[in-house]
Amino acid sequence: MKALVYRGPGKKQLEEMPKPTLRDPTDAVVRVIKTTICGTDLHILKGDLPSVAVGRILGHEGIGVVEAAGSGVTRFNQGDRVLISCITACAKCEYCRRGMPSHCEQGGWILGNTIDGTQAEFVRIPFADTSLYPLPEGADEDAMVMLSDILPTGYECGVLNGGVKPGDTVAIIGAGPVGLSALLTTQFFTPARIIVIDLDANRLEVAKQFGATATINSTDGQAVEKVMAMTDGKGVDVAIEAVGIAATFGICQEIVGAGGHIANIGVHGASVTLHLEKLWSQNITITTRLVDAVTTPLLLKTVMAGKLQPKQLITHHFALSDILKAYDTFGNAGRERVLKVILKNE
Amino acid sequence: MKALVYRGPGKKQLEEMPKPTLRDPTDAVVRVIKTTICGTDLHILKGDLPSVAVGRILGHEGIGVVEAAGSGVTRFNQGDRVLISCITACAKCEYCRRGMPSHCEQGGWILGNTIDGTQAEFVRIPFADTSLYPLPEGADEDAMVMLSDILPTGYECGVLNGGVKPGDTVAIIGAGPVGLSALLTTQFFTPARIIVIDLDANRLEVAKQFGATATINSTDGQAVEKVMAMTDGKGVDVAIEAVGIAATFGICQEIVGAGGHIANIGVHGASVTLHLEKLWSQNITITTRLVDAVTTPLLLKTVMAGKLQPKQLITHHFALSDILKAYDTFGNAGRERVLKVILKNE
Amino acid sequence: MKALVYRGPGKKQLEEMPKPTLRDPTDAVVRVIKTTICGTDLHILKGDLPSVAVGRILGHEGIGVVEAAGSGVTRFNQGDRVLISCITACAKCEYCRRGMPSHCEQGGWILGNTIDGTQAEFVRIPFADTSLYPLPEGADEDAMVMLSDILPTGYECGVLNGGVKPGDTVAIIGAGPVGLSALLTTQFFTPARIIVIDLDANRLEVAKQFGATATINSTDGQAVEKVMAMTDGKGVDVAIEAVGIAATFGICQEIVGAGGHIANIGVHGASVTLHLEKLWSQNITITTRLVDAVTTPLLLKTVMAGKLQPKQLITHHFALSDILKAYDTFGNAGRERVLKVILKNE
Amino acid sequence: MKALVYRGPGKKQLEEMPKPTLRDPTDAVVRVIKTTICGTDLHILKGDLPSVAVGRILGHEGIGVVEAAGSGVTRFNQGDRVLISCITACAKCEYCRRGMPSHCEQGGWILGNTIDGTQAEFVRIPFADTSLYPLPEGADEDAMVMLSDILPTGYECGVLNGGVKPGDTVAIIGAGPVGLSALLTTQFFTPARIIVIDLDANRLEVAKQFGATATINSTDGQAVEKVMAMTDGKGVDVAIEAVGIAATFGICQEIVGAGGHIANIGVHGASVTLHLEKLWSQNITITTRLVDAVTTPLLLKTVMAGKLQPKQLITHHFALSDILKAYDTFGNAGRERVLKVILKNE
């Protein structure tokens, strides 16, 4: 089968690879219908993630059809249309039982990381019963792909961890796909104001269309001052960090109000300075989280009820066989005005 | 001044009464600009509430202008435009400190109950600093009147106590003003489905316009069967009781799913049968609550942000001097298609 | 093998039954080391539970050794010493994922109910990976048997659902094994006062030894008055119902203070009267729950840390072959001063 | 009257100062019976807190007798024995209503900071109704002084913010008075293990007597390794920082387990390094808090119920007139084996 393979820092190839087979009784093999590319895949390609071995098939998002199910799989049968979660959950370990399958002893984020992933014609899914979801009747396929990772990430790490409440003032720093996912799902809780901060004018325009009540282009370095002015000097109730660098985490610390929350989503490659000399007395909460994807059933309900339109996040479509081109486009997000791409296995 | 006075069961009069004066340093006297009539006022007039003495001025909702403020009032001055909360809070007692001013040792629901109320040209408000709210600049007066009682009641007793979450299925039994307030504010949390049940076709029509995803006219006694059919036999996540009789509380018990919530708002005049022989093992939660009105600041924010349109609840306008006519109209809610009336002190 | 078999209302026999075998890949067969009798078993023998078929082996508590494990069992091997949970959890269904395996679509309370139970030399445990727990090194066997059902029941249904907080006043109505389990575990949260109410002087004596700060013998019908006197007329913060009849649930309604909780544990055979005409305005919460046994890992930790001594609950020991005699003793709890019995499979 | 006055960095004097008088109607003047010295007072004396003006009377803890009460004080009368809270709460502002009087617009921590404090014969207490507590009948005076600041600080900032649960493993870094207060109150929630880390052998000995299940002397720089060994490499559920320097906050980051909490109590004078490059995916929560002292009523209940013995924290007694000597002793905590001192106004 065709698959996108990591060949070391800076190198990727569309290769012919052996089709995966069932290995454990709890495995399923899924024929991929649609998949996508994640910002994390770009990080991998830069060589930032040592856990990813050379030769690995990338990708941790997608929908498909069950091609084969192991003897221990009880909830899925061949032919079932499924949503693939980016998080593999054994459902048995201490962490899964605590509702934290991101740290599953045998799972977690392993697809396209420590085992082969979804940017291929087929993918093996361990613990299929608790790592796949049935695609609801009539669900839009493209929309469903957004539920593999990006929407639960924005929702769990940003919105839920941020404790967004009706009437709140929320700031989202970073209007990439994950930040925009937080923007869409923060509206589940009816904040009074949502301020989105980014350097990219196009993405800020998108943020407005997605429900931001204000946007700030931080190119001029005045984002903090602007937020404080908008909030009468009190700061925001919730600051969602969706970039992953020291500068944006620094903005969060400066704009969070007393009693407020900083919810970190960004993948950080370096430490940051935490201003405890100021914040020790400010009654704030800072959270970090690798997505657990435990809210996927809830998100499915909101999508099927028309309360969430994940398709808004999709800007480009490619055939899976054009994945190298898709990577080029996605890698130039600013110029290409890309949010998320859909790759179709035709 | 003119005031609507309770003269014993079945009797009310628009009378000339002495204008209230400051009694305690923490009092304010407010000139009423607009007020309204509550279903509770009808209960009082039937003689159902022995706490209400003959001679009492009724009414516990409204907006106005501070006419005089006691020496202990620090947050309001003469001339300030204010929202009057139905709950008077001393802010000092054990209950107020627990966030439960409904049970304030010196306050709680006293306006138009144990002290004179708002259906008058002037009203004395004890503990003014913590029982009044500044009217925000540019706020719609009629909308604000809905924040005195009805919206916090629907929100706190129904929605918050019900623990509504994104993706939930919520049933609201009773589409009167309070049930509709729960309907409006339950949407703060983006449930997937909101089923409204009532006997009145007009009110169900209103419920649809207000965001109900399904309505059930329970005239045929089939409401339970219909809800169970809609939910694949699982029942609802949250059942909000907004009537106050055994039959509707009974419906809640039959439609609540395992792990679900019954949030009682209704004022009950008699005991009900609780089917613990069925429910003991169903992991349900039942809550009751006299509104605390602690969410008024939050509701003000959502109104000012355009996330909540309380004006939708208002169907009729009268001059305060026409209050007897307003009571007639409000008392025939079904025929007159009344939700809430506004009485203006001209 | 020998097993205690239900032979219809009023009838039980110690019979020779076929040894269970693995049926599904996720099954384990466990050789029972120790088991016990539950009040629920007495209910079954009265014929109160139609779900229990004639011919069923009773019992849903115990510890043992894994005799055989199915191919899908990954966390246990032959020879492992295990704690058997009264709740069987598939870990995959909607309810298990919501943390509510009491309502597991394929499990829940099935042992000694809809499938054969633990009052036998061997028992088949479905979904063994998530329905058994490894016995910690050095754990006291008798103590562990109390963790199958009774302690999670008292803790989850009574203490957690009651929301016990430091400084609270807690009343426990019913000092049987489950009420005493609530008494032991309510002390996890350091309430200021724990009042235990029962009709049995001996059990009240035990309650005192177990940490009750006051006991009330309700034989004289004055329990409500006494509790109100003890609480300056304010009532209790948490009332835990551990009997399951209308009279005791009625006491809970009368003694719960404004803002308080009633946590029902009792198995009710008939409906009760709920005094909403009084309680609608009292801001109370009533909960019901079939134990989920999701706190078993936590309870294991507290036992191993010496913070909980479940052995206190055990008053009598028998050989499994003497189970009929054990039932006689347990059935005369008052006269025999029995709390829990241990049956040893020798 | 005599008072301890701040005379600039490094300088303090016991001076004759004018007796305070009522200024606002909500004030009380309290004759101090007992007070104490806080680590924060030492910080002030070093000149670290610019908010403290030269000439300020220090001290924010103590008990006393109401000498005079303003016309707006309704809950206290002359002669009432009271506990003085370190936090002054107006009870009316947005922050007080959110349960966060630490940030009260007119109060917060002002005693011995921006207004004169308790290390004097008399002290003026603004907003007396909500900043004083009646001393319970029979309460131990010395114990009560510990409830002004240190116990609510350990409990709110450390234990509650840390979310300590039964069965948890808790680490407390710093065994000074505040760390020990966290140690005493963390036991309200029955953690399985409490590991206390400090450099001072004496304080670690005290920690053991106070309920630590393990202590680590971090002099050898091996604290992290030792904690990880004790927890099978998983780290702790809750790490409570009670020192306020980068090194100890760094230990917290290294020992916190996935899904765990870091609760900062320490007053930090400089920023720290936050290792988001490691922690971004560890699902942790970091909290900061200036004590709100909203749990004082709860703590009073636990003390009166004998569940908490704050007297354990007191090692030395002085007359108020010997306060300079008391400062000397307190300032040499290690050598003098001081925890808290009591100063009596004789």
Q: Which of B25, B74, B99 sits opposite D71 (nearest CB)?
A: B25
Calculate how close chain B gets to C317, using CA atoms only, in Å: 30
Q: How many angstroms away from the CA of D287 is the closest CA of chain A?
A: 4
Selection from C184, C150, C167, C163 nearest residue C262 by Cα: C163
Q: What integer pLDDT is reported at residue A55 of this predicted model?
A: 97
Of D103, D249, D280, the CB nearest to A266: D280
Under 8 Å CB-to-CB from D53, ≥6 apart: which residues?
D6, D114
- Name which of A333-337, B329-333, D34-38, D224-228 the model is least confident about: A333-337
Tens digits of residue pLDDT in A259-294:
999 999 999 999 999 999 999 999 999 999 999 999
D165 inside 8 A of chain C by CB: yes
- The partner residue sitting opposite A167, judged by closest CB among B192, B193, B301, is B301
Among partner residues D167, D187, D298, which is closest to C167 by beta-carbon distance? D298
Beta strands in B228-284 (DSSP E): 236-241, 256-264, 272-274
Residue A243 in this model has a pLDDT that exceeds 90: yes
Mean pLDDT, rounded, for D310-333: 96
How far is the alpha carbon of D297 from chain C, nearest alpha carbon, in Å? Answer: 9
pLDDT beyond 90 at C346: no
Q: Is D25 on the interface with B (CB under 8 A)?
A: yes
Tens digit of each residue's pLDDT (9 = 90 or more) over C268-303? 999 999 999 999 999 999 999 999 999 999 999 999
- A132: nearest CA partner in chain C: C92
> Do B301 and A169 form a contact (C-beta atoms < 8 A)?
no
Residues of chain D with pLDDT > 70, as a percent, come to: 100
Convert the pLDDT of each residue in A306-320 to its tens digit. 999 999 999 999 999
Instruction: Please say if the pLDDT value at position D48 is more than 90.
Output: no
Which carries the bigger pLDDT value, residue D47 or residue C189? C189
Measured in residues, chain C has a length of 346
Q: What's the pLDDT score for residue D336?
A: 87
Is the CB of B74 inside 8 Å of chain D's CB atoms? Answer: yes
* Residue numbers in D near C298 (CB within 8 A): 165-167
For residue C243, the chain B residue with the least C-alpha distance is B280
CA distance D47 to chain C (A): 38
Question: Shortest CA distance to A62 belongs to which of A341, A294, A267?
Answer: A341
Average pLDDT over residues D74-91: 97
Q: Which residues of B touch D72 (CB under 8 A)?
A: 25-26, 71-72
Q: Residue C335: which pLDDT band, with cuts at 50, 70 and 90?
A: confident
Reply yes or no on whether the pLDDT at A93 is more than 90: yes
Per-residue model confidence (pLDDT) at position A221: 95
Tokens for C172, please give them: 């426990």
Residues in B touching C264 (Cβ below 8 Å)? 276, 280
Q: What is the pLDDT of residue B335?
A: 87
Answer yes or no: do C190 and D302 touch at CB < 8 A. yes
User: Which of B328-342, D191-205, D274-288, D307-321 has the weakest average pLDDT?
Assistant: B328-342
For residue C337, what pLDDT is reported? 92
Q: Are A71 and C74 within 8 A, CB to CB?
A: no
SS (H, E, C) chain C: CEEEEECCCCCEEEEECCCCCCCCCCCEEEEEEEECCCHHHHHHHHCCCCCCCCCCECCCCEEEEEEEECCCCCCCCCCCEEEECCCECCCCCHHHHCCCHHHCCCCECCECCCECCCCECEEEECCHHHCEEECCCCCCHHHHHCCCCHHHHHHHHHHHHHCCCCCCEEEEECCCHHHHHHHHHHHHHCCCEEEEEECCHHHHHHHHHCCCCEEEEHHHCCHHHHHHHHCCCCCEEEEEECCCCHHHHHHHHHHEEEEEEEEECCCCCCCEEECHHHHCCCCCEEECCCCCCCCHHHHHHHHHCCCCCHHHHEEEEEEHHHHHHHHHHHHCHHHHCCCEEEEECC
- Cβ–Cβ below 8 Å for D276 and A272: yes
CB contact under 8 A, B100 and C258: yes
Cross-chain Cβ contact B259/C95 below 8 Å: yes
Give residue A274's pLDDT: 98
A283 vs D contacts (CB less than 8 Å): 100, 102-103, 287-290, 292
For D297, nearest residue in chain C (alpha carbons): C167
Q: Is C259 on the interface with D (CB under 8 A)?
A: no
Tell me the pLDDT of chain D averaged across its residues: 97
Cβ contacts of D99 on chain B, cutoff 8 Å: 99
Distances (CA, A) of A276 to A261, D152, D241, D251: 14, 21, 12, 15
* Contact indicator for C272, C244 with CB cutoff of 8 Å: no
DSSP per position, B54-122:
TT-B----EEEEEEEE-TT--S--TT-EEEEPSSB--S-SHHHHTT-GGG-SS-BS-BTTTB--SSBSE
Whether C232 and chain D come into contact, CB under 8 Å, resolves to no
Q: Tell me the three state secondary structure of residue D247.
A: helix
* Pairwise CA distance, residues C243 & D59, whole Å: 53
Interface partners of chain C (CB pairs < 8 Å, 3 or more) are A, B, D
A244–chain D Cβ distance below 8 A for any pair: yes
- Does A51 reach chain D within 8 Å, measured CB to CB? no
pLDDT higher than 90, residue C336: no
The one-letter code for the residue type at B120 is A
Among the partner-chain residues D249, D283, D292, the one whose CB lies closest to the CB of A289 is D283
Note whether B267 contacts C: Cβ–Cβ < 8 A.
Answer: yes
Quote the minimal CA–CA distance from B289 to chain C in Å.
Answer: 4
Per-residue pLDDT at A334: 82
Which structure tokens are listed for D225? 């390794």
Residue D292 pLDDT > 90, yes or no?
yes
Nearest CA in chain A to C131: A92
Q: Does any CB of chain B come closer than 8 Å to the CB of residue A270?
A: no
Instruction: Summarize pLDDT for A27-78 with one digit per residue, the tens.
Output: 999 999 999 999 999 999 999 889 999 999 999 999 999 999 999 999 999 9
Nearest chain C residue to B156 by CA distance is C283
pLDDT on residue B100? 97
Taking phi first (over 0 means left), then psi (-120 to 50 degrees means alpha), and beta for anything else, what does residue C253 get?
alpha
Determine contact: D232 vs chain A, CB below 8 A. Answer: no
Decide if A297 and C94 are in contact by the 8 Å CB cutoff: yes
Taken in order D48, D52, D56, D57, is the CA torsion positive or negative?
negative
The CA distance from C265 to the nearest CA of chain D, in Å, is 21
Please report residues of B whose CB lies closer than 8 A to that of D134: none
Q: What is the sign, positive or negative, of the torsion defined by CA atoms of C78, C84, C88, C92?
A: negative
Tell me what pLDDT residue A182 has: 98
Best B75, B92, B131, B301 residue to mutate vs chain D (most D CBs within 10 Å) = B92
Positions of chain B with pLDDT under 50: none
Whether residue C192 lies within 8 A of chain D, CB to CB, comes out as yes
Of B95, B271, B277, Cβ closest to residue C276: B271
8 A C-beta contact, residue D253 and residue D224:
no
pLDDT (tens digit, 9 = 90+) per residue, D67-81? 999 999 999 999 999
At residue B333, the pLDDT reads: 84
Q: Which of A88, A90, A131 to mutate to test the interface with C (most CBs of C within 10 A)?
A: A90
Q: Which residue of D has its CA nearest to A48?
A: D277
Q: Which residue of B has its CA nearest to A304?
A: B192
User: Which among B102, B103, B283 has CB closest to C290?
Assistant: B283
At D233, is the pLDDT very low, low, confident or very high (cuts 50, 70, 90)?
Answer: very high
D105 touching chain B per CB within 8 A = no
D189, D297, D305 member nearest C189 (Cβ): D189
Within an 8 Å CB–CB cutoff, is residue D299 touching chain C?
A: yes
- The mean pLDDT value of chain A amounts to 97
Which other chains touch chain B, taking contact as 3+ CB pairs less than 8 Å apart? A, C, D
Tell me which chain A residues have a C-beta less than 8 angstroms from the C-beta of C27: none
Share of residues in chain C with pLDDT > 90 (%): 97
**By CA distance, what is C76's nearest residue in A?**
A92
Average pLDDT, integer, range D145-151: 98
Mean pLDDT of A130-151: 97
- pLDDT per position as a tens digit, C305-317: 999 999 999 999 9
Query: Any chain A CB within 8 A of the CB of D247?
Result: no
Number of inter-chain CB pairs under 8 A, C vs D:
56
DSSP single-letter state for residue D171: E
Contacts of C281 in chain B (CB under 8 A): 102, 267, 288-290
